[in-house]
Amino acid sequence: MRLLAQEPVPQASWHAKSLGEALLYMAIFTTVGMGLAIIGYKLFDRFTPGDLNKEILEHRNVAAALLGAAVILGTCILVAAAMIS
C-alpha cells in the first residue's frame, strides 16, 4: 500500500508580485500609517491635561514639541511593527 503525500496548499500572501502591486501596497500602508499616527497623537492630546497643540504653536514650548514628536514616533514604531509581522 502506497501512501500519497498531500499536495502543498498554497499560502495566501500579501507580498507584492509586481512593481505596480508594490506601489499600491506602499500607498495603502502609508495612508494607514499616517492616519494611525495622527489618531495616536490626538488621543494622547485628548487624555492628557492641557492642550498640546496650543502649547506648541502659541507658546512655542519646545518640551511640548519634543513630547509630541516622541508620541508620534512611538505610534509609528508600533504601526510599522504591526505591518511587518
Has residue 21 been placed in a domain? no
Report DSSP state, residue 9. Answer: P
Taking the mean position of all CA atoms in its chain, how far away is CA 64?
Answer: 22
The tens digit of pLDDT for each residue in 37-82 reads: 999 999 999 999 999 999 999 999 999 999 999 999 999 999 889 8
pTM (2 d.p.): 0.74
Has residue 42 been placed in a domain? yes
Which residue range is the domain that position 63 belongs to? 32-84
Distance CA 19, CA 25 (A): 10
Has residue 63 been placed in a domain? yes
Q: What is the pLDDT of residue 84?
A: 82
Report DSSP state, residue 12. Answer: P
Has residue 5 been placed in a domain? no
Q: What is the pLDDT of residue 82?
A: 86
| Total of domains in the chain | 1
Has residue 27 been placed in a domain? no
